[in-house]
Chains A and B, each alone.
Chain A
Amino acid sequence: MAYVPGKRLTRLLFVVALYGLAILALSWNVSARRAREAARRESTRAVVALLGFADLALSSDARWLRHPSQTEPGAAFADLPGALDIDPAGAAIGPPLPLLERGGCELRVVHRGAP
Chain B
Amino acid sequence: MLNTRGLALEVRLSAYLDGELGDQERKELDDLLTRSDEARHILDTLKSGSAFGNTAFDDFLKDPVPLNVVRRIKQGSASVSPATERVVEARTSAARTKIWPRALAASLALLLVGGTAGYIIGSKQVIDIAPAQTATAVSRGWLDEIADYHRIYASQRDHMVELDSDEKPQIESWLNASVGVPFRIPDLANRGLAFQGARLLVVQGKPVAQLMYRDQEGDVIGFCFLRNTENTTVTDPKEDIRDDLALISWKKPGASFVIVGPSSDASLQTIAADIAQDI
Tell whether A pairs with B: no
Task: Give the interface of A toward B (CB within 8 A).
Answer: none
